[in-house]
Structure 1
Amino acid sequence: MRTVLVPHVVAGALRLGAPESHHLLRVICLPRGGSVRVTDGTGNEAHATLDDVLDGLACLTVGALTTAAPPPPCVVLLGMPKPALLEEAVTLGVECGATALWLVNAARSLPVAPRLDRLERVIDAALKQCRRADRPALSAFSSIDGAIRAAPPGARFLAAPGGASAAEAWSAAAPQRNGDAAYSLAIGPEGGWTPGEIDALLTAHFVTVNLGTAILRAPTAVAAGLSALNATRLR
C-alpha cells in the first residue's frame, strides 16, 4: 500500500495539498476508491480511501488513527561525504532506523554546503518507501566538536578499522542495555576522521566498532553500521 505524508493525521475528511495530490493522482495513478496509508511522521498513521478529486486536489476519507511508540534514539553523526553520495547515505539512514541524521563538516569533507531542503525531500521519499511512521530529524554541524556536545545520552560508537565487533562494542558501551537502548554512531567522510577528531570522539566515550575489512562508501557504512548495531542491541 502506498504511503502519503501529511501534516496531521485525523480521522475523517482530508484534502491533500498540491504536491501529494500530484504524486497520488499523476505518478501513482490511484483510482477513486483506492486505498493509501497516511502518516504525519510523528508516529501517527491510518488507512485512507480516495473519494474524490476537487480542483486537482485529492480528497480522502481517513480511517481510525493508530499511534506507534517512538523508537529509541539512534543518531548518525556523518562526516559529510561527496555530494554524489550524500543523498544515498541519507536514504539508507532512514531505511535502517536512524532517528536523527547529523551532517558534520569534518576536516576532510569537501567545502560544499549541503542542500538541506533537498535532503528533507529525500527523507520524505525514503520515509514513504520504507513505511516508517516516524520521521528522522536532519541537522548540520560545522565541526565534530559541536556534534559531540549535542549527542544525546546513551551508547556511543565510532566506526573504525580495527574496532570491536558490534556485540563487543555494545558490551563495552552499554553493558546493562535493553531493546530500547539509545545510541549514536559516528561515520567519517572519505579519508576518515583526522587524528584530532578521533581523539575528540574517544574522549567523549565513543567506542570503536569494526564494520569489516573492506573500504566502504559512506552510504554503505551507514547501512552496515546501523544494521549491525540494531541487530546486536539485545545480545
Structure 2
Amino acid sequence: MNLLLLHPDQYLHDALWRLNARQCVHVRTVLNLTEGQQCRAGLLGGSTGMATVKSIENNGVTVEFKPLSHSEAALPLSLLMALPRPKMLKRILIDATSLGIKRIVLINSWKVDKSYWQTPNLKADLLREKMILGLEQARDTCLPELILAPRFKPFVEDSLDEWAGSGQRILAHPGDYPTLPCNLTEPVTLAVGPEGGWTPYEVDMLQRQGFACHSFGARILRVETALPALVGRIMRLP
C-alpha cells in the first residue's frame, strides 16, 4: 500500500477520517506510525496529499487529511480483453489499474470457458476491491470504468466502435503481422485475446471495427505476462 486511499464513507468531520480495519493494520504494523506522524494519502476519485495520525485508540486510527495535488495521470489506453481465468483475473485487474488504464472491457471469446462467467470473482464488489489495490500500489485515486461483455458479437457490432472512440486500434495476435508500435502518447485501444489467441472469426470481426493485427514476437505468453509487456511496449508510461 503506497497510498492510504480514503473512501467518502470514512469521513467524520473537520478533515478527520476514520480508517478501515485493513488500513489500521497497515498504519500501525507496517508503517509503524504514531500520533502526529504522516503518510501519503488520497481521496477516492479526488486529490492526493498527506494524512496525519490524530489518534490511535483500541486499534482504531483517525487521521487528518490535507489534499495537495491531483492524482497520477491516466494512461491514454483502453483495454479490450477476453475474460481471463478467474485466478488470474485478480492479478490482471490490479496490474491494469496500477498501470493507469482507466477503461476496461472484459469480453467473451470462443476460447473462454463458459464457467469463467459464473465465478464469484465477477461480483462488482470483488472487482472493485482489486482495482482499489491497484490504485494504492500506483498512488492513484481514480477507479477505472469496467464493463463486462459476456456476448462477443453484440458488443463488437453494436458498442465497440463508439466505446473505442478515436485513436489507433491494435489487436495483439500471434502470426506474420507488423511489429507493435512503441512509445505512443495518443489514445489507443488494445485488444488482448485469451490464451491461445482470438479465433479467425473474432479477428475478422475486430478488423471490421478498425483493429489492425500486430505481432509481439514468436513467444506465446500467458495473458498476465503479456498485458504489462504489451502496455510497456506500446505506450509511453506517465
Question: Mapping of 1:93-172 within 5 angstroms?
Answer: 93-111=96-114, 112-113=116-117, 114=119, 115-116=121-122, 117-148=125-156, 149-150=159-160, 151-154=163-166, 155-161=168-174, 162-167=176-181
Give 5+ residue unaligned stretches, structure 1. Answer: 171-177
Give 5+ residue unaligned stretches, structure 2. Answer: none
Aligned in 2, Cα 1:232/1:157: closer, same or farther, shift over 3 Å?
farther
In 1: Cα distance, 2:75 partner to 2:23 partner? 29
Partner of 1:156, secondary structure, is strand
Check if 1:7 corresponds to 2:3: no
TM-fit CA distance, 1:83: 2.0
Which string of whole-angstrom CA distances, capped at 9 and with x for unpartnered residues, describes residues 160-212 of structure 1?
Answer: 123322328x9xxxxxxx83x22211111122111111111000001122222
Q: Tell whether the 8 Å contact from 2:75 to 2:99 is kept in structure 1 after alignment.
A: no
Structure 1 counterpart of 2:210, from 205, 212, 224 = 205
Across the aligned residues of Structure 1 and Structure 2, the Cα RMSD in angstroms comes to 2.9
Q: Tell whether the 8 Å contact from 1:43 to 1:70 is kept in structure 2 after alignment.
A: no
TM-score calculated relative to the size of structure 2? 0.80
Q: Choose 209-218 or 93-102, whichever is displaced more.
A: 93-102
TM-fit CA distance, 1:106: 1.3
In 2: Cα distance, 1:160 partner to 1:64 partner? 43
In 2: Cα distance, 1:124 partner to 1:35 partner? 21
- Percent sequence identity over aligned pairs: 25
Letter aligned with residue 222 of structure 1: L
Q: Tell whether the 8 Å contact from 2:40 to 2:48 is kept in structure 1 after alignment.
A: yes
TM-fit CA distance, 1:159: 0.4
Aligned in 2, Cα 1:147/1:26: closer, same or farther, shift over 3 Å?
farther
Q: 1:173 corresponds to which residue?
A: none
Check if 1:57 corresponds to 2:60: yes
Q: Tell whether the 8 Å contact from 1:98 to 1:226 is kept in structure 2 after alignment.
A: no
